[in-house]
Amino acid sequence: MNPTAAERLNVLLVQAGMEPLPPEQLTGFLAYLSLILRWNARTNLTAIRDEEGILARHFLECIACARALPAGIATLLDFGSGAGLPGIPIALCRPEIAVTLAESQGKKAAFLREVVRTLGLGVEVHASRAEVLGTSFDTVVLRAVDKMPEAVAAAARLVSAAGWLALMTTHADLADLHRAAGGDFSWETPVALPGSDQRILSLGRRA
């Protein structure tokens, strides 16, 4: 464990008006941080490559998302998971949720399997396109996915009846993404995400 990183992450949470992580969750996030830094040195997991940026941009925002998701969710799909953001933080912060990470790029899927194994998480890694999954989920979440409107349209079809579509996006892109999701969703007031005055979490519930 890196005490400096641990202390810094909890300081960032408190500064953002959130509760600090309990020790067992903090241990998981620091192991995850170590894996991101190690793998990012040889494969392009994320454009943010320094420890401070990962803590302040990726982890802070994803912890806020995990805590803002509604209660009572049993299953969740991280659509286009990439480096596992936000799916891994959701699994760490909300262990009652069965998380599936869908990632079609082989190297990133291999990284996700290594994270799940190292952290001992009960998380499924689907190493193919999410669209081919033959099941639906209580919640489908998207963050920084290529061709986001097309991805949102595909993700919407994987949300179960009365389930949730969770979009981590910006105010500027919100209207386009709501249109892409179709008319089946009732959207709540967006939740501001820490680290930027533009980043938001938009939660829509299927009718």
Three-state DSSP string of the chain: CCHHHHHHHHHHHHHCCCCCCCHHHHHHHHHHHHHHHHHHCCCCCCCCCCHHHHHHHHHHHHHHHHHHCCCCCCEEEEECCCCCCCHHHHHHHCCCCEEEEECCCHHHHHHHHHHHHHHCCCCEEECCCHHHCCCCEEEEEEECCCCHHHHHHHHHCCEEEEEEEEEEEEHHHHHHHHHHHCCCEEECCCEECCCCCCEEEEEEEEC
Nearest-angstrom CA–CA distance, 63 and 117 = 21
The β-bridge relationship of strands 191-192 and 199-206 is antiparallel
What is the arithmetic mean of pLDDT over 4-24? 95
What is the arithmetic mean of pLDDT over 32-61? 91
Confidence class for position 1, pLDDT limits 50, 70, 90: low
Beta bridge partners of 141: 78, 166
- pLDDT recorded at residue 207: 87
Average pLDDT along the chain:
95
Q: What's the whole-model pTM score?
A: 0.96
- pLDDT recorded at residue 206: 97
Q: Is the pLDDT of residue 3 over 80?
A: no
- pLDDT recorded at residue 42: 86
Phi-psi region of 156 (alpha: psi -120 to 50; beta: other; left: phi over 0): alpha
- pLDDT recorded at residue 48: 82
pLDDT tens for 102-154 read: 999 999 999 999 999 999 999 999 999 998 998 999 999 999 898 999 999 99
110, 118, 86: which is closest to 100 by C-alpha?
Answer: 86
- pLDDT recorded at residue 175: 97
- pLDDT recorded at residue 80: 95
- pLDDT recorded at residue 101: 98
Nearest-angstrom CA–CA distance, 158 and 184 = 12
Q: Is the pLDDT of residue 184 over 90?
A: yes
Domain that holds residue 54: 3-206
- pLDDT recorded at residue 2: 55
Scan for tokens 């990962």, then name that residue: 54
pLDDT tens for 55-94 read: 999 999 999 999 999 999 999 999 999 999 999 999 999 9
Total number of domains in the chain: 1
Which CATH number goes with the domain that contains 104? Answer: 3.40.50.150
